[in-house]
Structure 1
Amino acid sequence: MSDAKKGPLREFLASQIFVGSSGKILSHIGNMAQGFLRARRQKRAMTTISPKNTTHLDSVAVTAGDRRKPNLALVGTIAVIFLATANCKQTDPNEIGKKILHMPLRSKVSSLDPVRGGTSYSSLAQSVVYEALFEYDYLARPLRLIPRLLEAMPSVDPSKTIYEFTLKKGINFQDDPCFPNGKGREITSNDVFFSMKRMADRANSPKGWWIYNDRIVGFDEFRAKQDERPVGAPFNFDEPVEGFEIIDDYRFRIHLKQPFPQFTYILAMQYTAIVSREAVEYYKEEFDSHPVGTGPFRLVKWIRGSKLIFEKNPTFREEFYPSPPPSALGNVDPSLYQAAGKRIPFLDGIVMYVYEQDQPMWLKFRAKDLDYSQVPAEYFDSIYCPNGNLRSQLSADGIQNYNLELIDFIYRGFNMEDPIWGGFGNGKLLRQAVSLATDINEINDAFYNNTCVVYDGPIPPGLDGYKKGILSPYRGPQIDKAKALLVKAGYPNGKGLPPLVFETSRGGNSQEQGDMLARQLKAIGVELLPNYNSFPELDRKLKRKKAQFFSLAWGTDYPDAENNLALFYGPNEAPGSNNFNYKNPAYDALYEKIRTMDPSAERTAIYEKMRDMVIEDVPAYGSMARIRYYVWNSRLKNMFPEETWYGWHKYLDVEVEP
């Protein structure tokens, strides 16, 4: 934006601040800001970079090395919005005198059934009601697995294939009409195995069978037998599984086919949360929206696509905020231990609001209607100074922040079963060409403020098998090389090549990212047709193998690269976690070898070989790992966010609503 345009814009905004109610102000100013930001992003997305590596932003030419300098007009605009919205909080009369956390979900929740969730948003919503056997120590970094529903970590026999567990006593399901007299009962070993068996029932449309596939003695055979039952016959949960051994109500053993060092990590995943048979049979098809768990909260109301309301579970067991370890606290802020030893949860309830667009989420946060938020990328320069500190207006409002380095795998992927783009012949050449035409650094700069780590392959920073630097010969932009591969594939300059349909999620800056990718691929003659979906819609297409080309982010489930490498294991094809439907026998053989190995130099070397296979075959490319920027208002306490697991919301506290 030229200097001549700055003054009128600011004068106009200032004149609008004091007009109408606070709600109208938020909407009016928010719409103006969103239009301004969208126009800015669209111009960047559609602007072709010149040979001198110069682009044009807001009619001002800047070199690529200067792009992160904040646009002063934008900063001034957003600062005015902040000033206009910082004191517009609206309190629900029903919440007065209570501690209610207000938080955002950046996409719709697809299901509240643990075996059907399959997305981070569903897992987050489920995590306040349902609990798995394990969790992570809230204040330990690096992450440390600890028992949640268990007395202690399991004992493991010398063969590393038999795990023995002991449940804590006195852990009850929440009170619910599904139980006799509405009184929740104590969980038992049977509940653990019932919950696991539900993953084998295809009628549940389970998203996580891959976590058990070919791991537990007799479990695959159990699933196959149930698949063969007569049409209309019920799933037999009472059929025994050879590898499931009940000792008594509190003790049980699981027998693995072979060692699997990550097994306890698996049992911390939301897929494995414990449910009651009574609730499943009572609610039947409605169980998806009637969660009955052992966790600190219970569902009050779910308005799909809008919000979820939870209240404190009055029968939740005695559990306490963690105390500091005997050793030094390390990099953990000592203030996080101010609640040490106090009974949790502190909150009376939680309200989760769905925001598929970032602008209304951010405005609600600035109006203090949300207690915390993730920072939308388009607002980054207006929130942070060039040195990374919060801008003074935000600090003066008591806002605090935390930057979370995600174990993250953002990618663009192909359906390897597609007749044109799949396979290992011409389809491989086409995939390599698309990778070569894509400028991931430009995408990182335009939409992530250069805060992502760009890397090659499926193993993100922080895990064994990751290597810094350019590893892929197909890292773009290399336009001439890309065009040469199109010729070799029989499509010179893209002639005769049908459009590439790009499935991605709706919201945020997805449209602008689609526009930029379309412009980049147009340079080699490939036409991109973006299709924007809600997250559940995108997930359904992936699970049904209906997505030709797609973009997604995989948050690593546990801190081991085996989890990411499993995404390309053939037997995990859709509806499993292998959305690419990648089937490479040599890769699969290596995966079957490493899945039983403990950490070692030998295992790391195999990880690297598998990483390079994915780089060469290009079922996915353009890897990035994000930093998630969290900010929260002063009424929120004990905030130490993490995205490997979501059960930490039980430790949060807020000031009572006045």
Structure 2
Amino acid sequence: MMRLTAVLFFWCSILSFISCSLKQPVPGNVYRGVLADRIKGFDPSQCSDLYSHICQKQVYEPLYEYKYLARPYDIQPCLAESLPRISADGLEYTIHLRKGIFFSDDLCFPSGKGREVVARDFIYSIKRLADVRTRTTGWWLFEDKIAGLNEFRFSTRQLKTSDTADYLSDVAGLAATSDSTLVIILTKPCPYFKYILTMSYAAVIPHEAVEYYADEFLNHPVGTGPYILKEWRRGLRLVFEKNPKYVHGLYPVEGGADDSAAGLLNDAGKPLPFIDRLEYYTFTETQPMILNFLRGNLERSGIPKDNYNNLINPDKTLREEYTDQGIQFIRAEDLDLTYTTFNFKDTLLGSRRKLRQAISLAVDVDKIIDLFYNGRAIRAQGPIPPGLFGYDATFRNPYQGRDVERAKRSLAEAGFPGGRGLPEFEYLTQANTTSRQMAEKFTADMAEIGIRIKIIGVTWPEFLERLKTSKFQIAGLAWMADYPDPENFLQLLYGPNEAPGENAANYKNAEYDSLYRKITVLTDGADRLACIKRMQAIVAEDCPWIFDTHRVSESLCYSWLKNYKPHIVSPEQVKYFRIDTDQRKRMLGQ
């Protein structure tokens, strides 16, 4: 029976691919987007990856959000009525909620009618995330920050899975002084706390949905956002439709001179969203994605490495035959980092610094940039990308940059000359062509110094689960900024953030951790910069990661997609997009 199911699924997938690769009838007011892999679900407590974030933000909303057009990045009220009133000591945040915001209609509510959002819903959502039984990857955002929340988290350790925790009552640092007023009291000043309140982890959820759907809650999102999930064919397609109860979004009225010239203010002040229906298609391989885009079946697309030279001129402009089709070339600096992590829970990799240094020295990052990014990246010397406070363009990591002879000496100093005495290491990656090719390049680099690698390719959800449970030895990762502060990258190596948190390396260094705690309360300045420089030096020497690249984002979109501006920190803000349906019909000849 299992084999029959697999065979049927295979042929259904082939037929689906053939169908989707052909030019499709032009839809109405529909946005057709891309996901590079399947998502885990719609539980905000598990929103640790880009693809889940893209889908969840269509349904859920936090207190604050990023201004769509503003650069540098800044925030504005979303479910809050105004920016928080912060006490002089930086500890107390008073937040007034917008009135008249309702959860979408759902069976979890009496008579199926969504109720109004109140302040206690945010207490519920934050306390649920703090419960150890949710196994959230987002606890690091609130750990040691809100008075009484750590103590509440500790109390949930005593509970069985079936026990009920009280998420609705106040803790010392979370209080609903009225239905429309939330007070948050911090344990210490946190200059970037406002950014935390923009994240999907901080989105509001109704307790009725969690109680009604129980273990199936991750499949039944109920939020306040511009769209409602209507269809989810796992691994293939997700469909969202406009939420009729969403009435609180307006297109921005302010932007830069470039925004006005680009037509990005033509819809200023108009109610959101403009698009009636979103269809997201999963493409785990890049060739079907670009083929569908070029046939007009998608609004936007990344540029696969194997197609790059056929699409882009040497001077980094789009080839004329594609501009004639109304395709636009979009380029933006990323706040991101690609890196290869070692699992410090592995007895050998975690204890032998010289071994990690040898592996790092053997990696040919320049070749990676050439082969897999078409030159669209620079070497990463440390954890902080260009564009953030603390980035030092002059810093040179002593173990970044290919040096095979030095790698061999370091390997011998570790006690393994020529790799003798070492076991075969497992390299965890995703089960797609590009990821496999990158893993094979890593394997070839390691072979030159005598280290054997076994590639383990898995689906994206399984990849995340293995990181969360530390079931790997070496893995290739990437991190895009959640918010524009260096702490967002430095927390990836903070000891208490170990798995299931974002410190997948399970790296611990007492001095680094002490410095990290200092930078969380310091504002940008000389003292914070000195701490960051020392932290960078520590991890450069310890090599918990191989620092690979900082990438540049390049993509394609059709000119019928209006109001599109890349937003690296909060990507795919579809509620601002508009489709010129008449232009799309003309351009596609239908």
Same structural fold, with TM-score higher than 0.5 when normalized by the shorter chain: yes
User: 2:479 aligned with 1:554, yes or no?
Assistant: yes
Distance in 1 between the 2:98 and 2:230 partners? 27
Summarize deviations over 1:52-104 as a string: whole Å, max 9, x none: xxxxxxxxxxxxxxxxxxxxxxxxxxxxxxxxx8xx53127xx5xx3010010
- For the 8 Å contact 2:37–2:283, the answer to whether it is kept is yes
Aligned counterpart in structure 1 of residue 166 of structure 2, from 218, 236, 259: 236
- For the 8 Å contact 1:465–1:611, the answer to whether it is kept is no
Residue aligning to 2:138: 208
User: 2:531 aligned with 1:531, yes or no?
Assistant: no
Aligned counterpart in structure 1 of residue 33 of structure 2, from 78, 92, 103: 103
Residue aligning to 1:349: 277
Deviation of residue 655 (structure 1)? 3.0
Residue aligning to 2:536: 611
Which residue type is aligned with residue 130 of structure 1? Y
Distance in 1 between the 2:41 and 2:48 partners? 8
- For the 8 Å contact 1:139–1:332, the answer to whether it is kept is no
Residue aligning to 2:210: 280
Deviation of residue 334 (structure 1)? 3.4
Which residue type is aligned with residue 196 of structure 2? I
- For the 8 Å contact 2:126–2:202, the answer to whether it is kept is yes
SS at match of 1:629: strand
Summarize deviations over 1:107-140 as a string: whole Å, max 9, x none: 1111111111211100101010101111111111
Distance in 1 between the 2:329 and 2:97 partners? 37
Distance in 2 between the 1:25 and 1:259 partners? 53
SS at match of 2:215: helix
Which residue type is aligned with residue 230 of structure 2? V
Residue aligning to 1:150: 80
User: 2:350 aligned with 1:416, yes or no?
Assistant: no
Which residue type is aligned with residue 24 of structure 2? Q
Question: Superposed, which structure 2 residues align to 1:223-622 within 5 Å?
Answer: 223-229=153-159, 232-325=162-255, 329-330=257-258, 333-423=261-351, 427-469=352-394, 471-622=396-547
Residue aligning to 1:91: 25
Q: Select between 574-583 and 624-633 the one with higher mean Cα deviation.
A: 624-633
SS at match of 2:263: helix
Distance in 1 between the 2:115 and 2:123 partners? 17
- For the 8 Å contact 1:566–1:578, the answer to whether it is kept is yes
Distance in 2 between the 1:462 and 1:499 partners? 39
SS at match of 2:332: strand
Deviation of residue 330 (structure 1)? 4.7
Residue aligning to 2:5: none
SS at match of 1:314: coil
SS at match of 1:125: helix
Summarize deviations over 1:493-537 as a string: whole Å, max 9, x none: 001101121101222411111111111111110111111121111
SS at match of 1:245: strand
Which residue type is aligned with residue 320 of structure 2? S
Stretches (4+) displaced over 4 A: 23-28, 330-333
Q: Select between 647-656 and 266-275 the one with higher mean Cα deviation.
A: 647-656
- For the 8 Å contact 2:170–2:176, the answer to whether it is kept is no
Distance in 2 between the 1:402 and 1:475 partners? 30
Which residue type is aligned with residue 552 of structure 1? L
Which residue type is aligned with residue 245 of structure 1? A
Distance in 1 between the 2:547 and 2:192 partners? 27
- For the 8 Å contact 2:121–2:168, the answer to whether it is kept is no
Which residue type is aligned with residue 308 of structure 2? F
Summarize deviations over 1:575-634 as a string: whole Å, max 9, x none: 001011011011111111111111111101111110111111000123311111121123
Which residue type is aligned with residue 630 of structure 1? S
Residue aligning to 1:654: 579
SS at match of 1:320: coil
Deviation of residue 635 (structure 1)? 2.4
Distance in 1 between the 2:235 and 2:272 partners? 29
Deviation of residue 230 (structure 1)? 5.3
SS at match of 1:590: helix
Deviation of residue 231 (structure 1)? 6.4
Deviation of residue 641 (structure 1)? 2.2
Residue aligning to 1:171: 101
Residue aligning to 2:569: 644
Q: Which runs of 5+ in 1 are unaligned?
A: 1-22, 31-84
Which residue type is aligned with residue 399 of structure 1? I
Distance in 1 between the 2:56 and 2:16 partners? 35
1:230–1:347: structure 2 CA closer, same or farther, 3 Å change rule?
A: closer
Residue aligning to 1:123: 53
Summarize deviations over 1:386-421 as a string: whole Å, max 9, x none: 111110111010011211211001001101121111
- For the 8 Å contact 2:259–2:265, the answer to whether it is kept is no
SS at match of 1:337: coil
SS at match of 2:326: coil
Deviation of residue 319 (structure 1)? 2.4
Summarize deviations over 1:310-355 as a string: whole Å, max 9, x none: 1000111142211135xx5256643111111222111111000111
1:246–1:346: structure 2 CA closer, same or farther, 3 Å change rule?
A: same
Which residue type is aligned with residue 225 of structure 2? G
- For the 8 Å contact 2:341–2:475, the answer to whether it is kept is yes
Distance in 1 between the 2:172 and 2:254 partners? 42
SS at match of 1:199: helix
Give the root-mean-square deviation of aligned CA atoms: 1.9
SS at match of 1:420: helix
Summarize deviations over 1:20-49 as a string: whole Å, max 9, x none: xxx999959x9xxxxxxxxxxxxxxxxxxx
SS at match of 2:348: coil
Percent of aligned positions that are identical: 38
1:482–1:255: structure 2 CA closer, same or farther, 3 Å change rule?
A: same
Summarize deviations over 1:183-242 as a string: whole Å, max 9, x none: 111101011111111112233221101101111101010011121135642222245311
Aligned counterpart in structure 2 of residue 181 of structure 1, from 111, 124, 128: 111
Residue aligning to 1:114: 44
Distance in 2 between the 1:323 and 1:417 partners? 51
Question: TM-score, normalized by length of structure 2?
Answer: 0.93
Q: Select between 378-387 and 259-268 the one with higher mean Cα deviation.
A: 378-387
Q: Which runs of 5+ in 2 are unaligned?
A: 1-13
Distance in 2 between the 1:143 and 1:153 partners? 15
- For the 8 Å contact 2:443–2:452, the answer to whether it is kept is yes
SS at match of 1:344: coil
- For the 8 Å contact 2:247–2:271, the answer to whether it is kept is no
Summarize deviations over 1:545-592 as a string: whole Å, max 9, x none: 111100010011111101111111110000001011011011111111
Distance in 2 between the 1:321 and 1:434 partners? 49
1:611–1:123: structure 2 CA closer, same or farther, 3 Å change rule?
A: same
1:414–1:523: structure 2 CA closer, same or farther, 3 Å change rule?
A: same
Distance in 2 between the 1:332 and 1:590 partners? 43
Which residue type is aligned with residue 286 of structure 1? E
Distance in 1 between the 2:135 and 2:405 partners? 45
Distance in 1 between the 2:227 and 2:168 partners? 30
Distance in 2 between the 1:237 and 1:24 partners? 47
- For the 8 Å contact 1:128–1:647, the answer to whether it is kept is no
Distance in 2 between the 1:151 and 1:239 partners? 23
Residue aligning to 2:65: 135
- For the 8 Å contact 1:410–1:552, the answer to whether it is kept is yes
SS at match of 1:335: coil
Larger radius of gyration: 1
